[in-house]
Amino acid sequence: MLDEAAPRQSFTDKHRKVLLGLLAVAIFLAAWQAVFLVVPFNKLFVSKPDLIWDALVKLIASGDLIRDLAISAVPFVYGFGAAVVVGVALGIVMGWRERVSYALDPIMTIFYASPLVALAPLVIVFFGVGVSGKAIIIFVLSVFPFIFNAQAGVRAVDRLLINVVRSMGGTERDLYLKVIVPSVLPYIVAGARIAVGRGLIGILVGEFFAASEGIGYAIARFGDLFALDRMFACIFAIMVIAVVLTEGIRWAERAAFPWRAGQ
């Protein structure tokens, strides 16, 4: 029989992690704001939290921010979606077939390690400033975590578990559904967490170089106009999206793969 639950904790004990994290953020913002009580403020070169907040509210109210984000979301969905499909498929083949991985490992590692964003202007030259050019940059940046993680996941499949299911009369289909997919899936989701960050970089870079709309373009344009409050507001929006996506995936991982907690 199970024992009774642990003694009750107070509110601050239970949420200590979150509270301390929020406290640090608050101190950072307050310090930023306070610096300009002593240092002279010039809004052409710097900005401060209260101005950024005002700009953010205005950008949201006017619908500009939402429109830019919606525009950028389209190539992101295409590029990231393609990265999932291609990366997982390629990674599984590389994990399964030793020769394929011998052949492709070096070149993949080189690509993964190299600063691929440097190729962005080239991609834009070939594919234009539209959705396809941006989607390709996002794809190139976010595909590698899927490849490497799917490969590692396949390699980590425990032979013993395959044997267990086979010995109990499991079919090929059972091996996939009951052993291989549950072993590999957590690796792929962990890859997605890394890939999201790289994909968002892809979108910004793509729109910095050449674009006439989208959130990256908005950041670049506000920078050129010395409208730093609005520039920071857009950066803040991207930041929030990045945190929500990666933390969302982390949360989903914990909910979907509770057995990983012990690893």
Partner 1 sequence: MPAYISGRNVNLTFRPPNRGPVRALQNFDIDIGEGEFLSIVGPSGCGKSTFLNVLLGLIKPDSGDIRMDGKPLAGPGTDRAMVFQEFGLLPWRTVQANVELGLELKGMGGDARRKLSQPLIEMIGLSGFEGHFPHELSGGMKQRVGLARALATDPNVLLMDEPFAALDAQTRDLMQVELLRIWQTAKKTVLFVTHQIEEAIYLSDRVMVMTKRPGRAKKIFKIDLPRPRDYEMRVTPEFNKLKLQIWNELKDEITV
Contact footprint for partner 1 (CB under 8 A) = 1-2, 160-161, 163-170, 174, 178-179, 182, 257-259, 261-263
Q: Between residues 70 and 181, which has the closer beta carbon with respect to partner 1?
A: 181
Q: Shortest distance, CB of residue 160 to partner 1, whole angstroms?
A: 5
Give me the helices (H) in the chain, please. Answer: 11-14, 16-38, 49-62, 64-96, 98-113, 120-127, 131-155, 159-167, 172-174, 181-209, 215-224, 228-256
Q: Shortest distance, CB of residue 166 to partner 1, whole angstroms?
A: 6
Sign of the Cα pseudo-torsion (65, 68, 71, 74, in order): negative
Q: Shortest distance, CB of residue 255 to partner 1, whole angstroms?
A: 13
Q: Between residues 40 and 262, which has the closer beta carbon with respect to partner 1?
A: 262
Q: Between residues 141 and 190, which has the closer beta carbon with respect to partner 1?
A: 190
Q: Between residues 132 and 183, which has the closer beta carbon with respect to partner 1?
A: 183
CA dihedral (63, 67, 70, 72) in degrees, to 10, reads -140
Are 141 and 199 contacting, i.e. CB atoms less than 8 angstroms apart? yes
Q: Shortest distance, CB of residue 187 to partner 1, whole angstroms?
A: 13
Residue type (1 letter), 163: N
Q: Between residues 189 and 220, which has the closer beta carbon with respect to partner 1?
A: 189
Q: List Cα–Cα distances, 243 to 149, 194, 249, in angstroms.
A: 21, 12, 10
* CB burial of residue 210 (10 Å; 0-12, 13-18, 19+): middle
Q: Shortest distance, CB of residue 257 to partner 1, whole angstroms?
A: 7
Q: Between residues 115 and 258, which has the closer beta carbon with respect to partner 1?
A: 258
Q: Shortest distance, CB of residue 167 to partner 1, whole angstroms?
A: 5
